[in-house]
Amino acid sequence: MQPSPSDIPAPAARFRWSWTSFLSLATALVAVGSATLHLVGSIWHFQYLQFWGVDARLFPQAADQILLKGFYALFDRLLLLFIALAKEWYLLLLVVALLFLLALYIDAITDKAVDAVVKVAHSGRPWRKRVVQGLMLGLTFASFAMLATFVLVALMGIPAAAAEMSARKSAEANAADFAKGCAESKRSCVEIQRAGQPPIQG
């Protein structure tokens, strides 16, 4: 007896990569990347001028300059992170191994916890089932809220922290260079001529 067409399971839908999908993904990445670079560049500009006690609103920057500063700030922090990881590669492998074991342990504990909850929910009185369902629903919402908050903090805090550290590093390096004076400084000095008064160099 041959199975009817309704009894034959439908094949699983497969994701098909197309130029439309590629362009949509590329557009989304460009938008997110541009917003991130603008955020990092703006924070870098503000923190750098704040180091010198200057109000950043007095020196507005063009959008392309903000994006360029954001790019160099992120590149600087990522390069330092790569160098640190390359030097301590064995610690990185150890952390990855520990995280893998922790994930396996959590997966095993979660399976046992789900089995126990299902057993309790399907046994006893109906009110017990409603209580268990309510607790699981509340736990699910709480876990989702905590995860969403963590992701938002990471997405906003990590670029901001990278911009602040990069700006402070640049400002401190420039301050040390300025302290050497015009004779030894890497930057060119400017001389302002004043009528009847000695010129100003700096």
Q: Which two tokens stand for residue 189?
A: 């000095």
Phi, psi (degrees; rounded to nearest 5) at 109: -65, -40
Does a structural domain hold residue 64?
Answer: yes
Does a structural domain hold residue 16?
Answer: no
Using alpha carbons, list the distances in angstroms from residue 62 to 10, 30, 56, 76: 56, 19, 13, 21
Does a structural domain hold residue 61?
Answer: yes
> d(Cα 65, Cα 100) in Å, to the nearest integer?
42
What's the domain range around 127? 27-168
Q: Dump pLDDT digits (tens) for 72-128.
A: 888 888 888 888 888 888 888 888 889 888 888 777 777 666 676 667 666 666 777
Does a structural domain hold residue 72?
Answer: yes
pTM: 0.64
Q: How many structural domains compose the chain?
A: 1
Q: Dump pLDDT digits (tens) for 117-154.
A: 667 666 666 777 777 777 777 877 888 888 888 888 88
* Count of C-beta atoms within a 10 Å radius of residue 159: 20
